[in-house]
Chains A and B, each alone.
Chain A
Amino acid sequence: MSELLLPPEHRYAKRIKEQLNEDGSELSILNLGPTHPATHGIFQNILLMDGERILEAEPTIGYIHRAFEKIAENRPFYQITPLTDRMNYCSSPINNMGWWMTLEKLLDIEVPKRAQYLRVIVMELARITDHIICNSILGVDTGAYTGFLYVFQFREKIYEIYEEICGARLTTNMGRIGGFERDWSPEAFRKLDVFLEEFPPAWQEFENLFVRNRIFIDRTVNVGPITAEKAMNYGFTGPNLRATGVDYDVRVAQPYSSYEDFDFIVPVGKSGDTYDRFCVRNAEVWESLSIIRQALAKMPEGNEFHADVPDYYLPPKEDVYTNMESLIYHFKIVMGEVPIPVAEIYHPVEGGNGELGFYLVTDGSRTPYRLHFRRPCFIYYQAYPEMIEGALLSDAIVILSSLNVIAGELDA
């Protein structure tokens, strides 16, 4: 069988030939993916197995590669947000805001406090959706469907809030240079209040279902552990790194969008196994809720939702029809006649999975000369073959699920 799948010079084929077990059984090759319902995305892993145990794994990625970096080199700056949406599509507002903040750093734009707080709220909502998906799907993969059904409706509630803010749900394309495209409607704040009231009890119930659950603990404790040193060497960031006990969080290390105004703790784990990753994400959801409450409480008065940067911020449409200056600005922005400095910028934000970085090189034209996305998934997924070595096949699924590898971010 194995000859059909792999050329004879492949290391698996050699190893199968060399290693014959005492009872006469031989090693086998299992193709996990590219499309498999348990991998939640399109990844292929060719596993070399001894019975139920995984000896080696060889990942293949790139099945949904869409050449975003190449497309970005041919697009004006404000048309790149839709590309960022599609990277980590579980938390697209974080990607959107990260991109706008990169441009604001490039153009030295100071965003008003209220717009920054609104951004914090929407980014934390996005983090909650990301963690809801990861943790509840981890539950599904260990055989607990109930928790998923409890909390998944709240993802829908968050999408309704997005809808009130920007009109879209999954791929949000939210915001503009300097703030938001429009002020948040009262309905958005009302939905947010309802969410803040209804979600915590459900999340508490979800937590109670899992955290002390014997079956869940048996399936996750000591499954796919990684040490802090190894994790850092592999470039881990975000919850997966914090589960190993390192308290690195971009929101604290390099506060952006006024994160320094809020009190929150950075939850850390200890052993870096699947259970710790689950617990860190759980705790982060509570912190995110607390940040949203603080942002709402501290929200400055008024209705400022964008910076006063007519060179880069599209004027309201009614002004374009009636006002000479607005028409000129509108034309200049749409035709890409705005001044762009020549610079190299790196801006990191704390995405759902870790440090999401935008490395932007400009040459003064209307499009980026080079735009590189530092995608956390792409970098830490390299450790996956090592993490599943010696594990059972069913553990490999759980580990993949707990790493929260999002195909869109992996392949960009």
Chain B
Amino acid sequence: MALEAIQIQEKVNEAFGINVFNYNQEKDIFSFESTTDSITALILFLKNDPDLRFHFLTDLCAIHYPDNEFSRQFAVVYHMHNWYENKRIKIKVYIDGENPKIKTISNIFRSSNWMEREAYDFYGIDFIGHPQLKRILNMDEMISFPMRKEFPMEDSGRTDKDDRFFGRTTDNY
């Protein structure tokens, strides 16, 4: 029997209660939210539960929401997949804006090791307990987190590139 979204919701709700909320079906993916404290337990539960069996971590990435309220400035998104039933879910965890921190899941899924490093590299999210949390795609000397929304696309301090020669001004007018 195929695994239905409502079954997932019941099981997760039974185990985690109010720590998992906002269940909804977004197109073909069933998704819900969780909290920073219960995320590792939730992922472990989803992976090991004999009915749910979300044994594959498809994707992990971060999002920056500078316009949200302070406690929801960053989000870490987990995509998990159950290949037996061919069911995908998405879990979103919002984190506060200053010193964003969340527990690592790299001891549950080894594939998340580099994905967490990528999220750290671009958003500065601290994955507590990660074995080697350092930059992965950018150079080690970099001090900012370039995928945050406030980070400009081009370096405004560049002197080798005069906008006049490209027929534009800095604000594109």
Contact = CB atoms under 8 A, between A and B. Distances in A.
Given A65-B138, A69-B147, A357-B58, A235 B27 contact: no
Interface string B85-106: 0101010000000000000000
Q: Closest 8 CB pairs between A and B? A: A235-B111, A62-B137, A372-B61, A65-B137, A374-B59, A370-B63, A233-B110, A382-B114
A344 interface: yes
A311 B146 CA distance: 34
Contacts of B26: 343-345
A62 B136 contact: yes
A344 B91 CA distance: 12
Interface in A235-287: 235, 246, 248, 253-254
A142 B29 CA distance: 44
A369 B137 CA distance: 21
Interface in B133-147: 135-139, 146-147
Contact of A235 (B57, B77, B135): B57
Interface in B24-66: 26-29, 31, 55-59, 61, 63-64
Contact of B58 (A355, A369, A382): A355
20 contacts: A62-B139, A69-B122, A70-B146, A105-B27, A233-B109, A233-B110, A233-B111, A234-B111, A235-B56, A235-B57, A235-B58, A246-B83, A345-B27, A348-B58, A357-B79, A370-B61, A372-B61, A374-B79, A381-B114, A383-B110
- DSSP class of A's interface residues: helix, strand, loop or mixed? mixed
A359 B92 CA distance: 13
A374 B63 CA distance: 14
B2 interface: no
Contacts of A357: 58-59, 79
Interface of A: 61-62, 65, 67, 69-71, 74, 105, 232-235, 246, 248, 253-254, 343-346, 348, 355, 357, 359, 361, 369-370, 372, 374, 378-383, 411-412
Contacts of B113: 382
Contacts of B59: 346, 357, 359, 372, 374
A248 B83 contact: yes
B115 interface: yes
Contacts of B135: 62
A346 B109 contact: no
A380 B137 CA distance: 15
The winner among A105, A357, A374 for most chain B CB atoms within 10 A is A374
A378 B58 contact: no
A246 B139 CA distance: 36
A210 to B, nearest CB: 31
B1 interface: no
